[in-house]
């Protein structure tokens, strides 16, 4: 949070005169990054609380480019930020967004499958034996569960979960949120199939066939917060998917509905973004669009934490070193967001 801009803690440590102390903080010192994560979550939720008492949990992933192969979880893998496959670490991140502000509250490091069978690399990176490859959707489910069970007050009771297309395409992830009764809006690509009567159709074809021009509504909110006023929205209620997890039919809460959403630039006849949503049956289109806009706020919070708090400015290789650095950066970013939110009030 000082004036140093660097790719690691080394210049900042040199400026402060405490190089070995900062190295020790991320490495050999004894402290629990998960306890600090929980503190950050409580601090952000309480500090950004608004009149509604709840908000939106934004799930996203980010990549940290790496040149070597020793850092925990590093592999050549797809990274949206870099436009293709690069050697990187991938983290699943969560932000909490309210009308007061948005800040990061949780994180998980994705471990590619090849790391399960490389004991020498695992030992060198101090990866715990219990840490094994799971999907990014599973990491996201763990984050949602933690927030629902640990967030202070009633923040989790009325929250929405939003995610981009990478998680939105995972039917098991969506089914889990439905089973738990968690309202959500997730992005899906144009060729993603959904199940309105009479059978499977791609979302883009459905919108093309059923969306009449008079049904598009222009709202002062959109997926790009920098140009919100120029988006038009269309929504259609659709049946729930037939695929259910064990016990889902009995657990599914009443009063919930499922929608297909599309949005486009004003004056452009072709939709640009598609979403599947599930929430209270009486939810308005504006509320759904606001949830989508929160995803953009989450992406902005991620960029802000990178720019101002050094989220990606590290060269630690160990598993616990990654979690410690990311958690400290999230705490710093949360502090700035809460202070900025207080100034706006």
Q: What is the pLDDT along the chain (345 residues), one digit of tens a residue?
A: 444 454 454 555 555 555 566 666 776 776 899 999 999 999 999 999 998 888 999 999 999 999 889 999 999 999 988 889 999 999 999 999 999 999 999 999 999 999 999 999 999 999 999 999 999 999 999 999 999 999 998 899 999 999 999 999 999 999 999 999 999 999 999 999 886 555 668 898 888 888 888 899 988 887 876 666 688 999 999 887 654 443 333 334 458 999 999 999 887 778 789 999 999 999 999 999 999 999 999 999 999 999 999 999 888 899 999 999 999 999 999 999 999 987 665
DSSP letter string over 169-188? T-HHHHHHHHHTT--EEEEE
Closest CA to 303 of 272, 259, 267, 336: 336
Quick one: CA torsion of 274, 280, 286, 291, rounded to 10 degrees? -60
**Residues facing residue 262 across a β-bridge:** 234, 274
Residues of the chain with CATH 3.90.350.10: 31-344
- Using CA atoms, how far apart are residues 299 and 317, in angstroms rounded to an integer? 25
Topology of domain 31-344, CATH = Transposase Inhibitor Protein From Tn5; Chain A, domain 1 (3.90.350)
The whole-number pLDDT of residue 345 equals 54
pTM of the model: 0.88
Which residues in 226-265 are b (16+ Cβ under 10 Å) and which e?
eeeeebbbbbeebebbeeeeeeeeeeeeeeeebbbbbbbb
């Amino acid at each position: 949070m000082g004036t140093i801009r660097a790719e690691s803690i080394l210049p900042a440590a040199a400026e402060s005169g405490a190089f070995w102390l900062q190295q020790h903080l991320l490495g050999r010192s004894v402290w629990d990054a998960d306890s600090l994560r929980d503190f950050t979550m409580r601090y952000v939720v309480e500090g950004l609380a608004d009149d509604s008492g709840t908000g939106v949990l934004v799930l996203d992933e980010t990549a940290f480019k790496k040149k070597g192969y020793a850092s925990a979880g590093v592999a050549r893998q797809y990274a949206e930020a870099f436009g293709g496959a690069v050697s990187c670490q991938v983290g699943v991140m969560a932000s909490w967004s309210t009308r007061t502000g948005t800040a990061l509250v949780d994180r998980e490091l994705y471990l590619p499958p090849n790391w399960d069978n490389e004991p020498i690399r695992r030992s060198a990176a101090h990866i715990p034996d219990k840490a094994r490859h799971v999907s990014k959707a599973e990491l996201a489910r763990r984050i949602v569960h933690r927030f629902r069970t640990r967030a202070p007050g009633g923040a989790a009771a009325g929250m929405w979960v939003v995610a981009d297309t990478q998680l939105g395409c995972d039917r098991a992830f969506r089914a889990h949120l439905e089973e738990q009764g968690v309202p959500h809006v997730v992005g899906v690509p144009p060729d993603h199939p959904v199940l309105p009567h009479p059978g499977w159709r791609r979302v883009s074809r459905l919108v093309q066939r059923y969306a009449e021009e008079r049904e598009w509504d222009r709202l002062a909110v959109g997926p790009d917060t920098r140009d919100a006023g120029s988006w038009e929205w269309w929504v259609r209620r659709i049946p729930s998917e037939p695929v259910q997890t064990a016990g889902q039919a009995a657990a599914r809460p009443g009063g919930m509905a499922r929608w297909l959403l599309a949005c486009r630039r004003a004056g452009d006849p072709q939709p640009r973004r598609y979403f599947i949503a599930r929430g209270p049956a009486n939810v308005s289109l504006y509320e759904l669009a606001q949830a989508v806009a929160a995803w953009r706020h989450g992406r902005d919070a991620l960029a802000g934490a990178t720019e101002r708090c050094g989220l990606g400015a590290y060269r630690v290789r160990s598993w616990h070193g990654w979690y410690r650095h990311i958690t400290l950066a999230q705490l710093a970013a949360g502090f700035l967001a809460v202070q900025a939110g207080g100034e706006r009030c």
